[in-house]
Structures are given as structure tokens and as C-alpha cells.
Structure 1
Amino acid sequence: MKMYKERMNAWLNSQVISEESKEEIRSIKYETELEDRFYQDLEFGTAGLRGIVGAGTNRMNEYVIARASQGLANTIKNHGEEAVKRGIVIAHDVRFMSEEFTEIAARVFAANGIKTYLFDDIRPTPMLSYAVRYLKTVSGIVVTASHNPKQYNGYKVYWKEGSQILDDIANEILSEIKNLDFEDVITMDYDEAIEKGLIEILDHTIDQSYYKDTLAKGINDDLDKDICVVYTPLNGTGNKPVRHILRERGFTNINVVPEQENPDPTFATVGYPNPEDIKAFKYSVELAKKINADLIVATDPDCDRVAIMGKQKDGEYYAFNGNQTGALLLYYILNSLNQRNLISKNGAIVKSIVTGDLGKTIAESLSVKCYETLTGFKNICSLPNKWDISKESEFIFGYEESIGYVFGNHVRDKDGVISSMMIVEMASYYKKMGKNLVDVLYEIYEKYGYFKEHLMSIVLDGMEGKERILRMMKFFRESGFKEFAGLKVKEEIDYKNGYKDVGKSNVLIYHLEDGSWFAIRPSGTEPKIKLYIYAKDVAEDVAENKVGEIKEDVLSKLYSVK
């Protein structure tokens, strides 16, 4: 009998699984669907859990959430009585089952004697990071699937510094989860837990403190505060926090896309609620053209990432990618701080290894050191966590190409709220000087060179897709390629066992003889393999052509793997 059938039969025969969940499985007629639901337990890693909502061991549902929570509860208890007393704080987004999963997790922690703090409504992910630091809890959770399609949900775990867990804590939790059956989970009645003080609903004190600390990061006040901005939260959690911050910062002309203003777990107006995808800007561009907006800002559903479009001289809107936006923010922030002598001698920024080098070049031109980590803000923020203790460097800014940015030390994750504030401040600063953000981008290119890139993903769903992605990575590792697009390979870096000060990851980077480079890696949260291509030249068209030729060659090799 196939392995998946053993898991499926255990599910159907369990005394804990509801009849409704069992019936959902019995009603499925296709073996491939049943196999996908049961061929594995939904993987728990440093990104926590993320998957399609539904019945089965490879799905997001109340039983998988409860078992993960019991594993985390056991881990907290293993860290001693002080950890138990510090407790845990949980936030959630707008998605289907987010509120229910939050309550289930809270009931598990309460049953284990762990004080649990809950927000009274949806909150952006960065506010959870802030809450961990503010409340000094030992851990935190955000129930969210970020920018994934509507059928997904997720469970991201944070540790005491306010950043997402790294391998050490993730492995402790996973070890506990692997020793648990669904029947081993203990829960407490929700109302009883509140009555006993084990679950506490937070008031808005933390919100106000977060807003105060965010507003304090503003740099310039010589701004055109009537700059016309279109904002879309893409029916997620960003609407109230971003608008509040911009209003308090004094911006008077913020226009929200009405169809995408309020929470909607179906994401009916956008389908795939990822602002990296230009299609997510359809409604906001229509509004921007109608009101002649200078800038469009879009945050993803859990408001940790932000993408922008800027009006050009011809009235059309230019879509900035994450590398460009990160470079613009660094150029603005570092120059503004430098003019005020506010950069310390050990000031530092952090970027991921697959993020372009323009931001690094800008930072180093101002004597700011740039550190690199593996992808993900859990890794980016691990350095300022260390620097809090060692005082080796002073963290200024962190970012990665996938439209995630953080400025300052009050949040230890990417933050779409403060990023939105700084983007609008930056655009209004340059508008008062008679420039738009496209002008500033080309000013940067003229100063530092034309850094061009192409980032793409190949989506390969299900078990077959997962195995094909592994074969693609194996093919590149074993082929010993000497050149791409006629350019000799200068250096191949395989992060499988780590490299220099950077940890282990399934990432390959090829540096070519002319300074161009590309990286390939499987996504850690979605069924896709990602390709990042970078080139630089004094001429824009030459840099773009290099990117196109490398892309064509690499894709042909990837697609040759069946």
C-alpha cells in the first residue's frame, strides 16, 4: 500500500478528527489529490507552516495548527519557567480561517500554562514583531500566508528578539512536533482561559507605541506634503496602519483604492495579491490616472512588503522592482542621515545574497558597510540581533529584492508601514526639488552605473513539481558549466554547505567574467524555482542585453530537465 494511504487511513480512523473533515476526504475521487494531501506532513521550517487550507496532513487545518502549537508549547516549556512566564503573542491577517487558527493556537498555549496575548482584530506582520519586543514575550506567531493566493494560509513563528526563528529553534520545535500525534494535543476552553488570565486581549497601547516609534524615524520635514498618492492595501491588513502613519506624518493627499480598501479573504479584485506582480496594480493605476497621482504604493495582505509605481514625465507610470526601490530608499536615507552627521562610524546595512549590488555600492560610497545573508528577513535581522549584544555594528537598514525593507531597530522584520512612510517622504522630498522617482533612479544610474536585473519564478506544483525542482538543482550542481551566454564562469558558489560567514541553503550563484552574475534557488514557501540575473554597464542597453542573453541560456538549461 502506498505510504500516503497509511496517513489517510490514520486520519479517517482518528478519534480526534471531526466527521466533517473525514467526509471532506471521503468525497475526493481523484487519487492524485488524495496523495497530495497525505504524501507528507506539512513541512515545518524557519518559515513555520504554509499551505493550502483543507483536510489532510499536508494541508493547513485546525489539527495541523494545534499540533504545531503543542510542539512550540513544549519547546517553550523546555526553555524553563521564565520562558513560560514571558508568554507568547499572536496576530493574524484577513485570510480564511486566520481568526479560527489563532484561537485554536491560543487554547493550546493556555492549556500548557503559557500566557497568551491576542490582538482584538487583524494586524500587520511588523506589529507582531514589535509586540514581541514591547511585551518581552519569549515567542510570537502571525497567522498569515503573506502574498500567497486565497486558498493558502500560514503560521509564522518568532522568537524573543522579535524576528522569525532560525534553524536552531525551528529544529527544536520540529523535533517536538515529530513526536506528537493529533491525540497528544491539549487544549483549554477559550472563555475559561480568558477568565483565568491565560489569554489576554490587548488594548491599543502597543499600537500607539508602534506608531510613535515609526513616526520618530522620519528624517526630513522640508517636503511637498500635498504630494498626490494612491494607496492600495490589496484588501489586507495595511489599510488603517499605513493611512494613520501617513496622516500623522502630515501628508494630506492620500487616496485609497476603494475596491481594495477593506479586508477581503477572497482577494476578488486581484486574484494573486502580490504587489511584485504588475497585475496587482490594475485598479490603482486606473485611479492614479484619473486623479493625476504622483506615486502609487501597494502593500501585500500582511503589510510587511511594499511595491511602488511612479509617474514619469510623459504621465505614464513606471513600476519599480524591489532592487530599485531598495536602492532609492538607501540613496535617500543614507544621504539624508549623512548630511546631518547621523551615520555612526560603524553604521551598517544588510541585504540578502540574491539582492542586487546597487544598494551595496551606494552604502559603501558613504562608508557604510554592507553585510550579506541568506534570503529571508529571519536571516537579515539575525545580524542586528547579534549587534545588539556585540555592539560591532549599528544597524541602519535591511532589504531584499522581493520588496521587503526595514529601517531602524524597533521592528525585526520587513515592515510595510515604515517603508510606505519613508517612500512617500522620499517622493515628496524630491518632488519639492522638481524631480520624480524615475529621475532620481536615473541620477543614481549615472553616478554608479546601470545595474539591471531580471527576476523570475518557474511554478511547479505538487509532488511531481517538487521533485522536478530538486532535479533542476542537481543538474546544475553536477554539470560543471564553464560559461553562460558566451561569458566564462569566474566563480561558482554553492551554499549547500554554507559559504564564508553565510549559512547553508539550497542556492547556487554563478559569477561571470564581466561582473554579471545569477542565482537559482527553490522558494522556501511556494512551489517554484527562482532565478535572479544581474548585469552592470556604463550603457543601459548593454546591461539590458547581457541580462536577456543570460536569461535565455539559463532557462534553456533549466527547462531541459524533465
Structure 2
Amino acid sequence: MEAGWARMNDLIIIQASQGLCAYVLKQVQNAAQKGIVVGHDHRHNSERWAQLTAAVFLENNVKVYLHRRLVHTPLVPFSVKKLGAACGVMITASHNPKQDNGYKIISPHDHGIAETILANLEPKTWETSLLDSSPLCVDRTDDMEKSYLESLSVLCRNKSLNTTTNLKFVNTSMHGVSNNIMIKAFELFGFPPFTPVKEQALPDPEFPTVTFPNPEEKGALDLALATAEKEGAQYVLAQDPDSDRFSAAERGADGKWITFTGDQLGAIFASAVLEDYRTTRKPLEKLAMVASTVSSKMVEAMANKEGFRFAECLTGSNISRVFSNVKFTTFLSGFKFIGNTALNLTAEGFETPFGYEEAIGYMFGTDIRDKDGVAASMVFAELVTKLQLQGKTASSHLQELYERYGYFQTSNSYFICYDPPTIDRIFDRLRNYDGEGTATSPSFPKSIAGLEVTSIRDLTIGFDSTNPPTYKPTLPLSSGHMVQFRAASNVGTRIMLTIRTSGTEPKIKYYLEGTGENAAVVGPLLGKVVTELAEEWMQAALNKLKIP
């Protein structure tokens, strides 16, 4: 949040809004009458930038549904659908550090929007006074929150059981906007009140107790776990600052805390959705679930065994590239591919009540085709309450899933590189590893950590070794580098490795998963893969890559 093309500021907001407005008016029939939904969180400048966004659309005679107070991100896509709006914008940097902010567009048309931003760079208005006088500026915040809670109630399956549970929950909103809506959600589901992490319950753009306000980051849940110890709670629930992501921890039988990974929660949620669907007695072949391509393949294994449909899709994309040297500006909803895939499956006749990404993002039901940390929190709380009645916990249930579908373990991290040409050279070398590759016939590494590479999918150049004779991937191409490898041993141990560049950070990310009989087999193998990935494939020392 500074002056310049590479930062978030008033000018960037106006330019992005002007481009988005022009694009929406061109692409959506009756867009001016349908309007746009604008929301904001508590970060520095969020309210002002939401007002500037609204002002640009009002200047073009477009109706604006402006949420007039802090809202959690899921309320924006919910409002877009409920109000029949043409588009939605949320001003938030999600779980980024305090110095960041962002402009999140709830829409799939990134390339078209990027072009219209470039074509509408001259600022037309800086005036926000119309927000209080224009009949086109409408406040439906309270109505939308009420409707959102009514929609959330559909996910409640065992309210009578919830009211009698003796489980204690601690909840942290990570200095974000979720505390108030979580209080209402707990009451809606019939649960006794949770214990908030007092130091993190109120919105605070300075995030004073955490360096990086992301529940996935090491140390981010320390205060929540300490509160749970003090209160004798069995579970910790956590939402990221804009409340579209969810994480959880459980007090183990030995008293130690178990913090679940995004993929572990994904498997637990998928099993719950599957069992709930079974109760409807509808044919399982009409059930579908979605996960991003870098997420665990455990749900895929569940689908193969149980007979429901599984689909994978790309991760999110950003359009910060439309400005020269932009570090962090405008980005599309990162969950857009999952939501769109779910919509496509529904159009094909499937019911698609669940989708997720490994970065602790979970979608439930049909009203919000986006990730929702509040919905995930409530589904998890109700699930563990039901499991307790059966003498189980979330972690013991996960072990049962491993026994049925195979043991899966992930090891995700990244390398830091500030030099784009170096990153290009690394990926070019992977595509010509033995010196015999060509533009149409790449030559990738044939093994890693003693496992034979069995398939390769390069979503940058458009190559998939499993799809002869064209070798074209079925997934769309990525705007950055993205290569996926599958490898296997002769004793049935397998790995899935995805290496990709980040659209918003100077990182080469990797997503590694191994599957086999048990942790004693898979764990050490993942360590060997990471070592060879760093030393041989990435040549971390030679390329001066930083390893966290």
C-alpha cells in the first residue's frame, strides 16, 4: 500500500474499477440494472477503496450494492447470487501481511478484464459524495447477512445433538472479521457459545499478535492453543482474517495438539459429505466432488472406491501482470476454477455439494460456489460432535479413512527466487533434462528418489504424457510455469509432485504427496524427494534459491 504502479493505492483502485466496469457493461446484459456488489474488510484503506470502487460504477450509472460495514468475503459472492448482480468486488488481502491489501474480483474473466483495465487508465472520478445521495447506491448488508445465515442453516443436520454436546470449542478470527458472524452461526446451529481468543477476536489491521495472519503459518495458532489449554477445550477453530479459509486443531489422546493440514481436512469433509449423501439414497454416480490439481489425491481415491465422480481443476489466477512490475494488485477469486467446475458438473446432471483446495479453502452446498471459512467451521464442529457420540475424534476418523483408502501424506513448501530469468532457466532445464528435449517433445527427469516417473503434465507448454497421440492436457494452460509429475516404486508406493510459480510472490512452490501402506514408509520417502528436488532438479545452491 504505497504510491506507484507496483503498489495498491487510490489510482490503481480507480483504474481497476474503470476497466472492470467497462468490461461488465460490455459482457453482461442489463449490467447497469443488475448492479455490482462491493464489500470490504478491516485492513488499512479497505473502506476508502470500496467507496472509490463504488464511485466509479455510480459514475457510469451502474447500480451499486455497497456493504456499509465490515463483512466476511463469502458474503460478497452470496450477495451477487442472491441479488442477481452482474459482478462482485471485495477489498481484502485475505491472509497476507499487514502491509498488503488487494482487490478481489468475483468473476472468471481475467484476461478480458486485464485488457479493459489497460484501455481505461485515465481516472474519470475521485469523488465519493454520490454514495450518500445517489438512488443507485443501495445498502442491503443486513438483509444479505440474514439470508446468508438462513442459507447456512441448511448445512445443520443435528441441531438437537449440538445443543447437548459437552465439547468445548475455542475460536480465533485472527484479528479479522469473523468473530461476530461466528457467534451468530454457533447460535444458529444450537451450540453453546465458543470461547474466543480475546487477543485476536476484534478486527485489527495491525495484526499485533501474528507476523503472518494465516492459520497455516507456523506459530499462528499459538494463542488459540494456549487459550484452549486454559479452557480445557477439545478443539480449536480458526478462520483467516477475511474468513474464507478454515483451519482446525484437536487435543490428542496424549494431550498434545494435532493441527490438521488442508488436505487432511479436505478428506474428513469429503467423507462427511459422502455419508450425508448416502442418507438420501440417491445413486452415488450422481454425486461429484472437486479439488484443485495441487490438492491431495485422497478424495480421488475415495471416488474410485465408492463410485462417485471426482474432478480436478487449476488453482486461482491473478491479473496483477497488467501493470508493469506489479507486486500485488488486482486478483481474481482464487477459488474460481473450483466453483466453475462445480457449476459445470451440476449442468451435466451431477450434485456437487463439496469442493476444496489444499490452502484450507472449502466450499459447501450450492448457494456459495466459493470457499467459506464460517461454513467450514460449522460443518467441522457438527461433524466432531457426531463423532464424539460414536466414541471417535476427527483424528481417529482420519486414521479410519487411511485404512480404507490408503495412507496419504503431504509435504508442501517453496523456494524463494527474486530473479524471473533464473526461474525460467530452472524450468527450461527440467523440460530438457538430458539435453535431448525439443519444443514439441520435452525430455523431463525420468526418476526421483529412486522412483520411476510414470507421467508428466506440463500446463505451461501444453504437454500430457498420458494423453497420446496428441499429448494435449485436458486442463487449461497455466499463465505461469506449472509441471506435475507422478512417480511410483515397484512395491506400490507412489508420489505426486507439482512445481509451479506463484502469481503474487517471488516463489517456486511445490506440492508433494506420497501414498503407501503407512507413515513409516511414506514419511522418509518424502524427505528424500524434497532433498533431490532441491539439490538436483532446482539446483538451489547454484541458483541461489532461498529455502524457508
Q: Find the counterpart in structure 2 of residue 541 from structure 1.
A: 520
2:11 aligned counterpart, secondary structure: helix
Q: Find the counterpart in structure 2 of residue 426 from structure 1.
A: 383
Q: Find the counterpart in structure 2 of residue 133 from structure 1.
A: 81
Q: Find the counterpart in structure 2 of residue 276 from structure 1.
A: 216
Task: Identify which of 227, 230, 243 aligns with 1:287.
Answer: 227
Q: Find the counterpart in structure 2 of residue 157 from structure 1.
A: 105
* Residues 333-342 or 84-93, more deviating: 333-342
Q: Find the counterpart in structure 2 of residue 86 from structure 1.
A: 34
Paired with 1:487 and 1:102, the residues of 2 have a C-alpha distance of 51
Does residue 63 in structure 1 map to residue 11 in structure 2?
yes
Q: What is the CA distance between 1:135 and its match in structure 2? A: 0.8
Q: How do 1:434-513 residues align onto structure 2 when only pairs under 5 Å count?
A: 434-460=391-417, 464-479=418-433, 480-498=444-462, 499-505=472-478, 506-513=481-488
Instruction: Supply the AA of the counterpart residue of 2:310.
Output: C
- CA contact under 8 A between 2:28 and 2:86: conserved in structure 1? no
Do the aligned partners of residues 131 and 467 (structure 1) sit closer, same or farther apart at CA in structure 2, a change above 3 Å counting?
Answer: farther
Q: What is the CA distance between 1:193 and its match in structure 2? A: 4.2
Does residue 385 in structure 1 map to residue 335 in structure 2?
no
Instruction: Supply the AA of the counterpart residue of 1:259.
Output: E
Q: What is the CA distance between 1:63 and its match in structure 2? A: 0.2
Instruction: Supply the AA of the counterpart residue of 2:533.
Output: V
Does residue 521 in structure 1 map to residue 469 in structure 2?
no
1:516 aligned counterpart, secondary structure: strand
Q: What is the CA distance between 1:95 and its match in structure 2? A: 0.8
Q: Find the counterpart in structure 1 of residue 368 from structure 2.
A: 411
Q: Find the counterpart in structure 2 of residue 334 from structure 1.
A: 274
Unaligned runs of 5+ in 2: 317-334, 434-443, 463-471
Q: Find the counterpart in structure 1 of residue 91 from structure 2.
A: 143
**Cα distance per residue 1:182-229 (max 9 Å; x no partner):** xx2222733334322122222411111111111111233445533111
Q: Find the counterpart in structure 2 of residue 19 from structure 1.
A: none
2:219 aligned counterpart, secondary structure: helix
Q: Find the counterpart in structure 2 of residue 555 from structure 1.
A: 534
Do the aligned partners of residues 447 and 493 (structure 1) sit closer, same or farther apart at CA in structure 2, a change above 3 Å counting?
Answer: same
Paired with 2:185 and 2:419, the residues of 1 have a C-alpha distance of 42
- CA contact under 8 A between 1:112 and 1:186: conserved in structure 2? no
Task: Identify which of 155, 158, 174 aligns with 1:217.
Answer: 155
- CA contact under 8 A between 2:457 and 2:473: conserved in structure 1? no
Report the identity percentage: 31
Q: What is the CA distance between 1:510 and its match in structure 2? A: 0.9
Paired with 1:316 and 1:68, the residues of 2 have a C-alpha distance of 48
- CA contact under 8 A between 1:475 and 1:561: conserved in structure 2? no
Paired with 1:467 and 1:149, the residues of 2 have a C-alpha distance of 27
- CA contact under 8 A between 1:306 and 1:403: conserved in structure 2? yes
Q: Find the counterpart in structure 2 of residue 8 from structure 1.
A: none
Q: What is the CA distance between 1:146 and its match in structure 2? A: 0.8
Q: Find the counterpart in structure 1 of residue 261 from structure 2.
A: 321
Q: What is the CA distance between 1:502 and its match in structure 2? A: 0.9
Q: What is the CA distance between 1:343 and its match in structure 2? A: 6.1
Instruction: Supply the AA of the counterpart residue of 2:382.
Output: E
Q: Find the counterpart in structure 1 of residue 195 from structure 2.
A: 255
Instruction: Supply the AA of the counterpart residue of 1:194.
Output: D
- CA contact under 8 A between 1:227 and 1:251: conserved in structure 2? no
Give the TM-score, by structure 1 length: 0.85
Give the TM-score, by structure 2 length: 0.87
Paired with 2:142 and 2:125, the residues of 1 have a C-alpha distance of 27
Paired with 2:205 and 2:403, the residues of 1 have a C-alpha distance of 44
Q: Find the counterpart in structure 1 of residue 52 from structure 2.
A: 104
Paired with 1:315 and 1:340, the residues of 2 have a C-alpha distance of 38
Q: What is the CA distance between 1:70 and its match in structure 2? A: 0.5
- CA contact under 8 A between 1:469 and 1:528: conserved in structure 2? no
Instruction: Supply the AA of the counterpart residue of 2:527.
Output: G
1:491 aligned counterpart, secondary structure: strand
Q: What is the CA distance between 1:344 and its match in structure 2? A: 5.7
Instruction: Supply the AA of the counterpart residue of 2:454.
Output: K
**Cα distance per residue 1:290-346 (max 9 Å; x no partner):** 112111111111111111111100111101100100001111221133134256641
Paired with 1:268 and 1:90, the residues of 2 have a C-alpha distance of 27
Unaligned runs of 5+ in 1: 1-52, 160-164
Aligned length: 496
Instruction: Give 4+ residue runs of structure 1 displaced > 6 Å after superposition.
Output: none
- What is the Cα-based RMSD across aligned positions, in Å? 1.7
